[in-house]
């Protein structure tokens, strides 16, 4: 992932569709997008993404079926790291603190976070 460019906001919307739905045609991607996006706009973005090696395509009849060449988790980690560097000087503690305090957590999320922290602490300090 490190040698590939970071997706733009529009490219990320398309990648989210591909990660959720799997390989898709332009028409299928267009239908899945929340906002109004014209067929030609989606097609042009996919062509750019193909040139940037963010997606691959396979001929299927008269259409192409596109698939992501980026792993979702790796992309999220890379973009979160970049975001943390830009906004919080690389401090993940500040990023997490701001994220947790900026919105009310849904039922059960705090307990899930506590369990995750407990698990991370256990992994960090081996048993003696």
Residues 64-77 pLDDT 10s:
999 999 999 999 99
Cβ contacts of residue 110 below 8 Å, gap of 6+? none
Q: Which of 32-46, 73-87, 111-125 has the highest mean pLDDT?
A: 73-87
Residue 73 CB burial class (10 angstroms; 0-12, 13-18, ≥19): exposed
Per residue in 32-65, pLDDT (tens digit) is 997 678 999 999 999 999 999 999 999 999 999 9
Q: Nearest-5° angle of CA 51, CA 41, CA 49?
A: 20
- In this prediction, residue 92 has a pLDDT band, given cuts at 50, 70 and 90, of confident
89-109 b/e with 16+ CB inside 10 Å = b? eeeeeebeeeeeeeeeeeeee
pTM above 0.85, yes or no: no
Q: Given this model, what pLDDT does residue 97 score?
A: 87
Q: What are residue 24's DSSP bridge partners?
A: 66
* Mean of per-residue pLDDT scores for the chain: 90
22: DSSP letter: -
Q: 90 near 42, Cβ under 8 Å?
A: no
Cβ contacts of residue 27 below 8 Å, gap of 6+? 39, 63
């Amino acid at each position: 992932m490190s040698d590939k460019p970071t997706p733009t906001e529009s490219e990320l919307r398309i990648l989210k569709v591909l990660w959720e739905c799997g390989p898709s045609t332009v028409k299928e991607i267009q239908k899945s997008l929340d906002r109004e996006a014209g067929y030609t706009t989606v097609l042009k973005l996919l062509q750019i993404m193909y040139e940037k090696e963010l997606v691959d395509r396979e001929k299927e009849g008269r259409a192409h079926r596109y698939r992501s060449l980026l792993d979702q988790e790796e992309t999220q980690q890379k973009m979160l790291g970049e975001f943390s560097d830009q906004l919080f000087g690389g401090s993940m503690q500040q990023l997490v603190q701001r994220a947790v305090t900026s919105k009310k957590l849904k039922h059960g999320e705090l307990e899930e976070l506590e369990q995750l922290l407990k698990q991370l602490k256990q992994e960090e300090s081996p048993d003696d």
